[in-house]
Amino acid sequence: MKTKLLASSVLSLGLLAAALPAFAVEWASVTDERLLNADKDPNNWLIYGRTYNSNRFSPLKQVNTGNVKKLVPKFSYSLGTLEGQQVTPSVNNGIMIVAVSQQYVDAVDTRTGNRLWRYEIKLPADIAQYACCGLVTKGVGLYEDKVYIAALDARVIALDAKTGKELWEKKVEDYKSGYTLTMAPMVAKGKVVVGVAGGEFGIRGFIQAFDARTGQEAWKTSTVPGPGEEGVETWGKESWKYGGAAAWLTASFDPATNLVYMGTGNPAPWNRAMRPGDNRGSNSMLALDIDTGKKNWDFQFTPNDSWDYDAMSEAVLVDVKRGGKTVKGLLQGNKNGNLYTLDRTNGKFVSALPFVKVDWGHVDPATGKMVVNPESRPDLNKNATFCPSYFGGKDWAHIAYNPTTSMAFIPSIEMCATLKNEEVSYKKGLMYLGAPGDMIAPGRGALTAVDVTTNKIAWKWENSSPLQSSSALATAGGLVFVGTLEGNFVALDGKSGKKLWSFPTPSGIVGGPMTYSVDGKQYVAVVSGYGGAFPLWAGSGVPEHIKKINKGASLWVFELAE
């Protein structure tokens, strides 16, 4: 009863705040210097992963392990949609920018909860049939006085950050061919970098950069090699034409190497017999020169993928101490169930650590190559059962990394699946799979903590549903925040994994938590709203109690009680 009364009071406060006049807030120009030094700016959240290295770590420590139990809602309000909310909000000088699915972009006064402006994303009426996973988006990009959104119908749109007025838009590709955009754009050196989604539709993936001021194309790099390009011979039967390998999660950037790091997804179709060879460029990490888009190196995690083990997950750029030496590292929690460490300067394999149940085989510790158990590989009209499932040991939900403790926190999925391959023909704008299957039991989840220095699991906090898409947040206060499909927003002790605090939001959390400071006070925020791929694709993997979760999107901002 107490919880219900609190929630009711919070909603009333949110409505009251929305009715009040706007607080005097001013947009501060998001310069190159501010972006490059985002790690030294604890007050704002200017980049999708907070910093270019995508570690989702905040130096703020006003909220800490000793007082987190005093965390209470400051305000909340409905975002006005039933679509799934995969967004991580951004904050600049007290103004929060929230991408509300693929329907709106909101600017919110963080002091009051008052909405300053709203931009409506006008999508074609038939867009849903060309998107695999609902009207989802992950967030926005910020640069100077502009906000950038990647629209589902494959457009990049620039807005005036002060008014929400549209300044320019650029068509990326034809959405009726299955090309969509679901990521938060990454802005570096005056370029807006995006990658297309649509790997299940037989697209040919690519990564593209636009001039942030004018919208003019700067460069475009295909993820799948074509005729005359290195690696095309790994795509038998001319399968490169519809090869997939979408790059649909936000890039990381290292100013020291001048490289953009971006993972790529599954090859198309899922039926591997239709694309003999390793299918280079798919299931890979790519390192591209930010100025030209030229590929510097690539590393393929899963050749000739049979399991939908996308490698689209974020590149977390960290300096790793191993064997008395410091490696300029890149961490990726891969869908195949391993946490990989690569050398980000050259793409060389360093290590792999299984963090969930893995029975498809193992990674060779010397070479980084997959050594596959043949019984776990689906084939033409041959069923195979394997762990982790095609949702992966980690899906797109982001790792948080605490550089002071060298601990990585991985939202994990314990779920197994069965698949077989069957013949399929490519048809423009239709699903191109050729691999029916399902989960063999309802899934569970865990937040898995890995000591990156020792490359060992430190602890696991288990949950009754998969931590499928709510990203982790680590803070200097010794905390790790994560959301669950049940709708619980949870704070854990980063050293032990002990749950210290939780709050029940009205719907499942699939968005990314973040934190910021205004007027010397720290706040923690998350968007609640169940949806996305899990209810659409998980089948028997959806736990019975999750089927009862209500939809409905709302923004929640928390503060320490006085």
Return the pLDDT at 424: 95
Residue pair 319/388 in contact by the 8 Å Cβ criterion: no
Return the pLDDT at 245: 98
Instruction: Identify the H or E element spanning 353.
Output: strand 349-354
pTM over 0.85, yes/no? yes
pLDDT bucket at 20, cuts 50 / 70 / 90: very low
Place of tokens 């807030």: 25
To 10 degrees, the CA torsion angle through 119, 178, 48, 415?
Answer: 130
Strand partners, 402: 407
Backbone φ, ψ for residue 232 (5° rounding): -65, -25
Average pLDDT score over residue span 415-444 = 96
Average pLDDT score over residue span 447-465 = 98
Return the pLDDT at 25: 85
> Cα–Cα distance between 393 and 357 in angstroms, integer?
8
The answer to whether residue 97 scores a pLDDT higher than 70 is yes
What tens digit of pLDDT does each residue of 361-378 get? 999 999 999 999 999 999
What tens digit of pLDDT does each residue of 138-154 get? 999 999 999 999 999 99
Return the pLDDT at 6: 41
Average pLDDT score over residue span 90-100 = 98
Nearest to 513 by CA among 481, 561, 547: 481
Return the pLDDT at 381: 82
Mean pLDDT across the chain, nearest whole number?
A: 95
Return the pLDDT at 13: 40
Other CB atoms closer than 10 Å to residue 536's CB: what's the count?
A: 13
Return the pLDDT at 24: 61
> Cα–Cα distance between 537 and 180 in angstroms, integer?
18
The string of DSSP letters for 129-182 reads: GG-SSSS-----EEEBTEEEEEETTTEEEEEETTT--EEEEEE-S-GGGT-B--
> Cα–Cα distance between 540 and 518 in angstroms, integer?
44
Average pLDDT score over residue span 291-296 = 98
Please list, residue by residue across 32-45, b when 16 or more beta carbons sit within 10 angstroms of its beta carbon and e when fewer do.
eebbeebbebbbbb
In the chain, the amino acid numbered 330 is L
What tens digit of pLDDT does each residue of 524-533 get? 999 999 999 9
Return the pLDDT at 308: 97
The string of DSSP letters for 33-58 reads: HHHHTGGG-TT-B-STTSSTT---EE
The string of DSSP letters for 183-218 reads: SPPEEETTEEEEE-B-GGGT-B-EEEEEETTT--EE
What tens digit of pLDDT does each residue of 196-248 get? 999 999 999 999 999 999 999 999 999 999 999 999 999 999 999 999 999 99
Residue 522 tokens read as 């720290």
Average pLDDT score over residue span 498-505 = 98
Alpha carbon separation from 394 to 131, 248, 275, 363, 469 (Å, rounded)? 21, 15, 25, 16, 9
In the chain, the amino acid numbered 406 is S
pLDDT bucket at 73, cuts 50 / 70 / 90: very high
Residue 295 tokens read as 């590929």
The answer to whether residue 22 scores a pLDDT higher than 60 is no
CA 499 distance to own-chain centroid: 24
> Cα–Cα distance between 403 and 31 in angstroms, integer?
25
Residue 407 tokens read as 């601990």
Between strands 338-343 and 166-171, the pairing is: unpaired
> Cα–Cα distance between 183 and 179 in angstroms, integer?
13
The string of DSSP letters for 259-279 reads: EEEEE---BSSS-GGGS-S--
Instruction: Identify the H or E element spanning 14.
Output: helix 2-19
Contacts of 216 (CB under 8 A, 6+ apart): 210
Return the pLDDT at 351: 98
Place of tokens 């002091």: 111
Domains and CATH numbers, the chain: 2-38+95-472 (2.140.10.10)
- Burial-class residue 274 by CB neighbours within 10 Å (0-12, 13-18, 19+): buried
Q: Which ranges in 220-278 belong to alpha helices (H)?
A: none
The string of DSSP letters for 111-139 reads: TT--EEEEEE----TTGGGG-SSSS----
Place of tokens 């001039």: 211
Return the pLDDT at 323: 84
Nearest to 393 by CA among 372, 363, 413, 417: 413
To 10 degrees, the CA torsion angle through 481, 67, 51, 297?
Answer: -50
> Cα–Cα distance between 234 and 272 in angstroms, integer?
12
Rounded percentage of the chain residues whose pLDDT exceeds 90: 94
Average pLDDT score over residue span 148-169 = 98
- Catalytic residues, by residue number, are 308
Return the pLDDT at 453: 96
Backbone φ, ψ for residue 60 (5° rounding): -65, 140
The answer to whether residue 1 scores a pLDDT higher than 80 is no
